[in-house]
Amino acid sequence: MIIKSAQLETVCGITSTLPDNTLPEIAFAGKSNVGKSSLINTLLNRKKLARTSSSPGKTQTINFYRINRDFYLVDLPGYGYAKASAAAKEQWGKMIERYLGTSGALRAVFLLIDIRHEPGSNDIQMYHWIRERGFTPVIVATKADKLGRAQISRSVQVIRSVLDAGPDVLVVPFSAVTGQGKDEILIMMQEIAGCKEAQEEQEVQAALPGPGALEETDTMSDTAVDGENPPPPKKARWPKQERHKAARKKKKGRNGV
C-alpha cells in the first residue's frame, strides 16, 4: 500500500464524543513507552505526524488519522505509565474501553508489545479486552532491532505463551530503525480496510484480455457478419527498419545508381 495522504482529523479527550465515522478504523494500542508514535510515523512515511517524546505518556487522547481517504488509523492513549496518577490511569482506561466497546467502524486492533520484555499485567488485560469485544488482535513486537535473530524468535514464543495466544494470533516483529515488519503491517492494513487501491488493481487485472483475445478479435473483423461484405483488408505495415531499406532502394533507382 502506498501512503498518498495522512492527516490528523479528530482528537478526542476524556469527555469528547467519539466520531461516527463511516470509513473503516484500525486501532493501535500499547504501553506508553512501547514506541507507538515511532511505528505510526514509520508506517505513514512521516517524521512528526504522531508526536514522539523521550517522556512516556505523551499520547493522552484518541487521535484519528485519515489515510488515503480510505480508512482511519486510530492512535489510542498509551497505558501503564508509572508516574501517572491513579485517577489519570483510570480515565485513560475508560477512554480505551469506551472506544473498543462503542466504535461501529472498528475493524481491527494492533497491540504493541516491547519484544525485549514479557507482556505485563496491563498488556494481558488489554489483550483480553480486545478479544472479549470480538477482535483477534495483531501483536506487533516493537524494538526488534535491539535483539538478534535467535533472540527475536525466542521472545515471540514468550509473548505467545504469556498471552496464551493461539495460532490465529499473528505476532509481527517490528523495528522503526530498520523498517522490519513495516511492509507486512501495511499489507494487513490494506486488506483489513479493503482499500480502493487494492480493489482497483483487481478490477484492472480482471478487465485485461486473456491470451489470444486480440487474435480472436482480429480474425472476426476480417469475416462477413450477417451476410454483409467483409471489410477491405488492412494495409500491411512493414517494420520500421524494412521501410527505411525499401526507401533507400527506391531513391537509388531514381538516381540511376
Tell me whether residue 20 is in a domain: yes
- 41-50, 132-141, 156-165: least confident range: 41-50
Residue 242 pLDDT > 50, yes or no?
Answer: yes
pLDDT computed for residue 201 by the predictor: 53
Tell me whether residue 242 is in a domain: no
Q: Find the CATH number of the domain harbouring 122.
A: 3.40.50.300
pLDDT computed for residue 83 by the predictor: 62
Which is nearest to 157 in space by CA: 124, 129, 119? 119
Tell me whether residue 205 is in a domain: no
Taking only the tens place, the pLDDT of each residue in 118-143 is 999 999 999 999 999 999 999 999 99
Taking only the tens place, the pLDDT of each residue in 84-93 is 667 776 777 8
Taking only the tens place, the pLDDT of each residue in 199-223 is 555 555 556 665 554 444 444 444 4
SS3 49: coil
Q: Report the DSSP pairing between strands 6-12 and 62-67.
A: antiparallel
Domain interval for residue 148: 6-197
- 24-33, 36-45, 77-86, 199-208: least confident range: 199-208
Tell me whether residue 32 is in a domain: yes
Q: How many helices and strands, by DSSP H and E, does the chain display? A: 8, 7
233 pLDDT band, cuts 50/70/90, is low
pLDDT computed for residue 76 by the predictor: 94
Residue 190 pLDDT > 50, yes or no?
Answer: yes
SS3 content of the chain, % helix, strand, coil (to 5): 40, 15, 45
Tell me whether residue 51 is in a domain: yes
Residue 178 pLDDT > 80, yes or no?
Answer: yes
First to last CA, the chain: 64
Residue 148 pLDDT > 90, yes or no?
Answer: yes
Q: Would you say 117 and 145 are in contact if contact means Cβ atoms under 8 Å apart?
A: no
pLDDT computed for residue 191 by the predictor: 96
Structural domain total, the chain = 1
Residue that has been written with the C-alpha cell 482511519 in this structure: 72
Residue 22 pLDDT > 90, yes or no?
Answer: yes
Tell me whether residue 248 is in a domain: no
- 5-9, 68-72, 176-180, 202-206: least confident range: 202-206
pLDDT computed for residue 215 by the predictor: 44
Taking only the tens place, the pLDDT of each residue in 49-69 is 876 544 555 557 899 999 999
Tell me whether residue 35 is in a domain: yes
Q: Would you say 149 and 71 are in contact if contact means Cβ atoms under 8 Å apart?
A: no
Residue 19 pLDDT > 70, yes or no?
Answer: yes
Tell me whether residue 256 is in a domain: no
